[in-house]
């Protein structure tokens, strides 16, 4: 067997060290997501999936940045969800759907915006606002149930926003 020269050995050791550092950095970044999603109980798989939809979240360097990115994702999805609901409400004049599209999701969007605005100055209030963002989808679902409306797309949206509210609450709660 041919022996390695000292320069080859140094190169091999350097390469191994670089790979190890890259792997540790990747694991540390995923650790934030894993810690938060681990607290989401039965929603861990859905939590990981929704957070992977925004690659910036995977690269968050700390909980503050992670929380801000999750809140921004929540706001983006809440606005898109509200627009989706308004489209349905324009066709289906059901009071429950109109309530979801306007009042309920106005609250969701407002809560995520408020949480983002409070994040730097008052993490506790940001955490509260993140949790309150989940009230809109919950109220929307109850309204749909009261009118015996079964709409898987709306229910799926509500579950997603509720999950984002919960994830954002967990993430911002770690800032105290």
| pLDDT range class, residue 121, cuts 50, 70, 90 | very high
List the structure tokens of 106: 């106005």
Q: How many CB atoms lie within 10 A of CB 127?
A: 23
Q: Which of 29-43, 49-63, 79-93, 111-125 has the lowest mean pLDDT?
A: 29-43
pLDDT tens digits for 68-111? 999 999 999 999 999 999 999 999 989 999 999 999 999 999 99
Using an 8 Å Cβ cutoff, are 48 and 163 in contact?
Answer: no
Please give the pLDDT value at position 43. 78
What pTM was computed for the model? 0.80
| Domains, the chain, ordered by start | 6-173 (1.20.140.40)
CA angle 89, 165, 80 (to 5 degrees): 35
Q: For the chain, what percent of residues have pLDDT higher than 70?
A: 81
Rounded distance, CA 148 to CA 27, Å?
46
**Residue 1 pLDDT exceeds 80:** no
CA 56 from centre of chain: 11
């Amino acid at each position: 067997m041919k022996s390695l020269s000292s320069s080859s050995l140094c190169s091999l050791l350097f390469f191994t060290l670089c790979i190890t550092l890259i792997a540790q950095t990747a694991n540390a970044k995923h650790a934030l997501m894993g810690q938060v999603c681990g607290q989401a109980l039965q929603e861990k798989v859905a939590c990981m999936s929704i957070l992977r939809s925004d690659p910036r979240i995977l690269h968050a360097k700390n909980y503050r940045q992670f929380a801000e990115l999750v809140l921004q994702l929540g706001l983006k999805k809440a606005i898109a969800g509200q627009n989706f609901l308004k489209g349905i409400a324009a066709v289906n004049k059901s009071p429950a759907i109109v309530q979801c599209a306007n009042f309920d999701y106005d609250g969701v969007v407002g809560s995520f915006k408020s949480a983002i605005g409070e994040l730097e100055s008052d993490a506790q209030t940001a955490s509260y606002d993140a949790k309150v963002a989940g009230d809109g989808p919950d109220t929307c679902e109850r309204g749909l149930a009261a009118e015996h409306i079964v709409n898987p797309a709306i229910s799926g949206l509500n579950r997603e926003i509720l999950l984002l509210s919960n994830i954002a609450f967990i993430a911002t709660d770690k800032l105290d």
